[in-house]
Structure 1
Amino acid sequence: MGRAYKVVILGGGVAAGYAALEFVKHGINRGDLCIISAESVPPYERPALSKGFLLPEGAVRLPAFHTCVGVGEERLTPKWYKEHGIELVLGTEIVAADLTRKTLLTAAMETISFQILIIATGARVLRLEEFGVTRADAQNIYYLRDVNDATKLLEAMILLKGGKAVVIGGGYIGMECAAALVTNGVPVTMVFPESHCMARLFTPQIATFYEDYYTSKGVVFIKGTVMSAFESNQNGKVFSIALSSIDNYFGFSFIVWSDDSLKP
Structure 2
Amino acid sequence: MAEKSFKYVILGGGNAGGYAAREFSKQGVKPGELAIISKEAVAPYERPTLSKGYLLPESPPRLPGFHTCVGGGGERLLPEWYVEKGIELILNTEIVKADLASKTLTSATGETFKYQSLIIATGSNVIKLSDFGVQGADSKNILYLRDIVDADLLVKTISEKKDGKVVIVGGGYIGLELSAGIKLNNLDVVMVYPEPWCMPRLFTAELAAFYEGYYSNKGIKIIKGTVANAFTANSNGEVKEVKLKDGRTLEADIVVVGVGGRPITGLFKGQVEEEKGGIKTDGFFKTSVPDVYAVGDVATFPMKIYGDLRRVEHVDHARKSAEHAVKALFASEKGETIDEYDYLPYFYSRSFSLSWQFYGDNVGETVLFGDNNPENPNPKFGSYWIKDGKVAGVFLEGGTPEENKAIANVARAQPKVESLDELAKNGLLFASKF
Residue 182 (structure 2) aligns with: 181
CA deviations 1:184-237 (Å, max 9, x no partner) are: 111100000011111111111111111111111110000001111111122111
Q: Secondary structure at the match of 2:54?
A: helix
Is the contact made by 1:169 and 1:192 (CA closer than 8 Å) also made in structure 2?
yes
Partner of 1:6: 7
Q: 2 CA distance for matches of 1:223 and 1:251?
A: 17
Give, in angstroms, the shift of residue 261 of structure 1: 3.8
Q: 1:200 corresponds to which letter in structure 2?
A: R
1:200 paired residue number: 201
Give the residue type in structure 2 aligned to 1:253. D
**1:45 touches 1:69 (CA, 8 Å); kept in 2?**
yes
TM-score, L = length of structure 1: 0.97
AA matched with 2:255: I
Q: Runs of 5+ in structure 1 lacking a partner?
A: none
CA distance in 2, matches of 1:136, 1:250: 15
1:224-254 CA distance string (max 9 Å, x none): 0111111112211111111111x23111211
* Equivalence for 2:254: 254
**What residue is the counterpart of 1:47 in the other structure?**
48
Q: How far is 1:129 from its partner?
A: 1.2
Give the counterpart letter for 2:122 in structure 1: T
Aligned positions of 1:1-264 closer than 5 A: 1-245=2-246, 247-264=247-264
Percent identity over the alignment? 53
State the secondary structure of the residue aligned to 2:210.
helix
Equivalent residue letter for 1:98: D
Q: Relative contact order (alpha carbons < 8 A, sep ≥ 6): 1 or 2 greater?
A: 1
* C-alpha contact 1:24 1:84 (8 A) present in aligned 2: yes
Residue 420 of structure 2 corresponds to none
Offset of 1:62 from its aligned partner? 0.8
TM-score relative to the length of structure 2: 0.60
Aligned partners of 1:118, 1:261: CA distance in 2, in Å? 21
Cα RMSD after superposing both structures: 1.0
**Secondary structure in 2 matching 1:46:** coil
How many residues matched? 263
Question: 1:9-55 CA deviation, whole Å, 9 max, x = no partner?
Answer: 11111111100000100100001000000000111111000111110
| Counterpart AA for 2:24 | F
3-state SS, counterpart of residue 198 of structure 1: coil
What is the letter of the counterpart of residue 14 of structure 1?
N
> Structure 2: which 5+ residue stretches go unaligned?
265-434
